[in-house]
């Protein structure tokens, strides 16, 4: 409860508007819905002749990715450019971080260049919260994934995808399948799905990949894929996150695919109009069969596209809250 209160105090203005976007925990259904509705207003921008609105004109956004990324980094850059911001992508591999400069010094140097927003991906859980609360509180901080903790913009683009396909969250059964233990995406998705009012969130994984106490988040736990998939509306597959595994959690990838891989025949256990999602990157033949990833029920590439509109929504709302706070 205390952690929830602290995160809310840091990411919201006194009147409850976003000024940073650090995590889903503690955000209201009304605020999550406002993000989705704002994203909806940007959703068709990619098809327009001029793909720009002036909401962040004159503002400087710095992408700080201390961990690898394809989708998140690229869509944040496009989102910032479509909002007319000036965008700087700091290349961490060739930056002075390699000479031993601390995170705090790097960020304070960026702040000295009058940056207005940092988009941060970091291997340490809590990094975005620490930056927003302790290092640069007057720069809007957007969490682009921190350790195992949270990936809130991924969760919101996933919610956007579900609402676009299913119309609303009411009555939906959603199964999240795979490496729950190391997944920041799953933690954020579970919070968002619960807040938005789905009927049932299921998590499906071998016992070794289920975090202790996950049922306290209100999910139903399944260790057999066939049972977990039965009659669900949405299947979300997760990647085995080997970069965060420090021991042997599975006999082998082959064995994992044999028991938990989403194949065409297993997908038939879900509702006939179920959609298949995956935050990416996908590992074909490890968690998902190619025929499913590329099949008619897959919305995996749509998720990526919706990431731009969703990130535009979060960035514009946080910048607006941050400017309100700075003016007081």
- Judged by CB under 6 A, the residue of 23, 26, 126, 145 near ligand CP is 145
Look up residue 298 and give its DSSP letter: B
147 binds ligand CP (CB under 6 A): no
| Least distance between ligand CP and beta carbon 326 (Å) | 30
Closest CA to 107 of 84, 80, 138, 79: 138
- Examine the residue annotation and report whether 82 is marked as an active-site residue of this protein: no
Verify binding: residue 89, ligand CP, rule CB under 6 A: no
Residue number, 145 or 228, with CB nearest to ligand CP: 145
Q: x/- contact string, 52-81, with ligand CP (CB under 6 A)?
A: -----------------xxxx---------
Does position 279 interact with ligand CP (CB under 6 A)? The reply is yes
Q: Which residues contact 78 (CB under 8 A, 6 or more apart)?
A: 308
**Residue 52 falls in the annotated catalytic set:** no
Quick check: 242 binds ligand CP (CB under 6 A)? no
Measured over all CA atoms, what is the biggest interatomic distance in the chain, rounded to whole angstroms? 59
Nearest to 140 by CA among 314, 19, 22: 19
Q: What's 160's DSSP letter?
A: H
Site for ligand CP (CB under 6 A): which residue of 25, 280, 312, 315? Answer: 280
Least distance to ligand CP, CB of residue 153, Å: 9
In terms of C-beta density within 10 A (0-12 exposed, 13-18 middle, 19 or more buried), how is residue 263 classed?
middle
Residue 234 backbone dihedrals phi, psi, to 5 degrees: -140, 130
According to the binding rule CB under 6 A, does residue 165 interact with ligand CP? Answer: no
Residue 71 is a catalytic residue: yes
Q: Which of 59, 121, 149, 311 is catalytic?
A: 121
151 is catalytic: yes
Residues in contact with ligand CP, total (CB under 6 A)? 9
Query: Does residue 268 carry a catalytic annotation?
Result: no
CB 246 within 8 A of CB 221: no
Spatial separation of the C-alpha atoms in residues 125 and 206, rounded to whole Å: 24
Output Rg (C-alpha) for the chain, integer angstroms: 19
Q: How far is the CB of 253 from ligand CP (least distance, A)?
A: 19
Q: How far apart are CA 14 and CA 7, in angstroms?
A: 13
Q: Which one is catalytic: 17, 71, 164, 284?
A: 71
Residues 26-55 binding ligand CP (CB under 6 A) are none
Residue 64: CB partners within 8 Å, gap ≥ 6? 90, 92, 106, 107, 110, 118, 119, 120, 121
Catalytic one of 7, 60, 72, 75: 72
The answer to whether 161 contacts ligand CP (rule: CB under 6 A) is: no
Q: Which residues bind ligand CP (CB under 6 A)?
A: 69-72, 145, 154, 279-281
């Amino acid at each position: 409860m205390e952690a929830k209160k602290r995160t809310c105090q840091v990411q919201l203005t006194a009147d409850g508007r976003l000024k940073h976007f650090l995590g889903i925990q503690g955000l209201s259904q009304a605020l999550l819905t406002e993000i989705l509705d704002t994203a909806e207003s940007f959703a068709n921008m990619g098809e327009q002749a001029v793909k720009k609105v002036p909401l962040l004109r004159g503002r400087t956004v710095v992408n700080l990715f201390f961990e690898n990324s394809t989708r998140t980094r690229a869509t944040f850059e496009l989102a910032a450019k479509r909002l007319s911001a000036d965008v700087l992508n700091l290349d961490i591999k060739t930056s002075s971080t390699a000479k031993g400069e601390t995170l705090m010094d790097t960020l304070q140097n960026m702040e000295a260049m009058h940056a207005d927003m940092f988009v941060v991906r970091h291997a340490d859980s809590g990094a975005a919260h620490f930056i927003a609360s302790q290092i640069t509180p007057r720069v809007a901080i957007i969490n682009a994934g921190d350790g195992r903790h949270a990936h809130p913009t991924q969760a919101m683009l996933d919610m956007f995808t579900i609402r676009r396909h299913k119309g609303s969250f009411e009555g939906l059964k959603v199964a999240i399948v795979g490496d729950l233990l190391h997944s920041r995406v799953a933690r954020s998705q579970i919070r968002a799905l619960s807040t938005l009012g789905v009927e049932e969130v299921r998590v499906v994984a071998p016992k070794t990949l289920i975090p202790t106490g996950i049922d306290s988040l209100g999910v139903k736990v399944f260790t057999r894929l066939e049972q977990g998939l039965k009659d669900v509306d949405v299947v979300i597959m997760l990647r085995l996150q080997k970069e965060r595994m420090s021991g042997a959690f599975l006999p082998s990838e082959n064995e994992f695919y044999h028991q938990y891989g989403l194949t065409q025949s297993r997908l038939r256990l879900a509702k006939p109009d179920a959609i298949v999602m995956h935050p990416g990157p996908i590992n074909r033949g490890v968690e998902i069969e190619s025929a499913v990833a590329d099949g008619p029920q897959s919305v995996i590439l749509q998720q990526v596209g919706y990431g731009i509109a969703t990130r535009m929504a979060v960035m514009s709302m946080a910048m607006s809250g941050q400017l309100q706070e700075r003016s007081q």
